[in-house]
A and B are shown apart, each in its own frame.
Chain A
Amino acid sequence: MEHYEIMLIFSPELEKEEHEEVLNGLSDVIVKQAGTVGTILNWRKRRLAYEINKLQEGHYYLIYFSGPGTIIPEIEHYFRVTDDVIRYMVVRTDEQEYAAAAEKAASEAAAAEKAADAAETAEAIEDAAATEETELAEETELAEEAEPAEEAEPAEEAEPAEEAEPAEEAEPAEEAEPAEEAEPAEEAEPAEEAGPTDIDEAAETENAASESEKPEETSGKEKTDQ
């Protein structure tokens, strides 16, 4: 049994349900091959450092699983027949990272729950105070202040009904390291030139990588091949 990490990129226009459909299919593949699916982390939408299939952004996910190495070709096959995934990479990982991912997911879930609770409480408060318009106005103001806070904690005191939607975004934990998302934008422009050539280079690097590293490491989705 080995531990693996899959990073994949969905086409950016896809909805959460479509992500889930693909991820469920992936889980089925893994389970069918006597593997175990661990943590799945939504790495969210990011700017691509260069265009892939003319797309400038993609929705990233990380999937951790353990199982025999024989799963890998099955996973490759699955992605080959799944158009929604514009690129993926499977790398071997260790137990530490595997566990760390689980921890991260747990803290994200807790944060989301907290935010949801806060939203519920906020609704209750709102109902109770519905007649007192001045108070409500005040709350809204507060809500606006609370929102930009990147941490999930403010959600606790957050009266805002608005927190209800942000609940979904309340995965700030995962933003922790990749945080500076704004920067990739800078690199996006020059990448346009790199566009036509990047595919070849990717393929080369990929081969180099799989030769020099563990053979289980694969990546794919060079659609230009077809």
Chain B
Amino acid sequence: MRRDRGRKPKKKICSFCVDKIESVDYKQYEKLKRFVTERGKVLPRRISGNCARHQRQLTRAIKKARIMALLPFTME
């Protein structure tokens, strides 16, 4: 959306790494909600601060959760 002129120097940390999560579980969909926008889109890494590995796992987990109607699909 709106682009901030000065980018935030604050470093984001991957919360999955912090929590020592080995693999992101689609069944824990309540936890995944935090990484989804109001419209149901996956938050980009630059916002969430997730590492690449966990972001990939997260994206897959969210896909599965959507298929099983645990999370909504993106709303237009």
Nearest B residue to A91, CB-CB? B64
Decide yes or no whether B30 CB sits under 8 A from chain A: yes
Asked if A205 contacts B63 (CB within 8 A), the reply is yes
Known contacts being A179-B30, A209-B60, is A89 close to B68, with CB within 8 Å?
yes
Query: Chain A residues with Cβ under 8 A from B60's Cβ?
Result: 209, 212-213
Query: Chain A residues with Cβ under 8 A from B26's Cβ?
Result: 91
Decide yes or no whether B69 CB sits under 8 A from chain A: yes
Query: Chain A residues with Cβ under 8 A from B28's Cβ?
Result: 177-178
Give Cα distance in the complex from A187 to B70, angstroms: 10
The interface size of chain A toward B, counting residues with CB under 8 Å, comes to: 35
Number of CB contacts from chain A to chain B under 8 A: 69
Give Cα distance in the complex from A177 to B73, angstroms: 22
Chain A nearest CB, measured from B60 CB (Å): 7
Give chain B interface residues in 20-76, CB to chain A under 8 Å.
26-31, 33, 60, 63-64, 66-75
Which size class do B's interface residues fall under? 20 to 34
Query: Chain B residues with Cβ under 8 A from A219's Cβ?
Result: 67-68
Asked if A49 contacts B70 (CB within 8 A), the reply is yes
Known contacts being A91-B64, A194-B75, A209-B60, is A180 close to B30, with CB within 8 Å?
yes
Partner of B67, one of A193, A197, A206: A206
Query: Chain B residues with Cβ under 8 A from A197's Cβ?
Result: 73
Decide yes or no whether A198 CB sits under 8 A from chain B: yes
Give Cα distance in the complex from A137 to B27, angstroms: 43
Query: Chain B residues with Cβ under 8 A from A198's Cβ?
Result: 73
Known contacts being A191-B72, A194-B73, is A205 close to B67, with CB within 8 Å?
yes
A-B contact pairs, 25 of them (CB 8 A): A7-B27, A46-B70, A49-B69, A49-B70, A49-B71, A49-B72, A50-B72, A58-B69, A60-B68, A89-B68, A91-B26, A178-B27, A178-B30, A190-B75, A194-B73, A194-B75, A198-B73, A201-B66, A201-B73, A202-B66, A202-B67, A206-B67, A208-B63, A212-B60, A219-B68
